[in-house]
Amino acid sequence: MNFIIRKAIREDALAILELINELALFEKEPEAVVVTVEDIKRDGFGKNPLFQTLVAEKEDEIVGMAL
């Protein structure tokens, strides 16, 4: 399997949230996710980002991340 690892961009916010939700479901804690796409865009890709994210892509689809 060939993956591309790259720094996430603002347009990846929805995919990042989907991966967060998938992890929460796996951990049987879906109600624990309170972050929104707008939160991710603001806090991760705003003027003073609070976090950085790397994403893993396979065939132009985001399949993993490191937050």
Q: pLDDT, tens digit, for every residue of 31-65?
A: 999 999 999 999 999 899 999 999 999 999 999 99
CA distance 38 to 32: 17
- Output the pTM of the full model: 0.92
* Cα(61)–Cα(67) distance, integer angstroms: 17
Give CA–CA dist 10/38, Å, rounded. Answer: 10
Q: What is the DSSP letter of 65?
A: E
Tokens of 59: 């065939």
Average pLDDT over residues 7-35: 97
Q: What is the pLDDT of residue 20?
A: 97
Nearest to 17 by CA among 48, 53, 58: 53
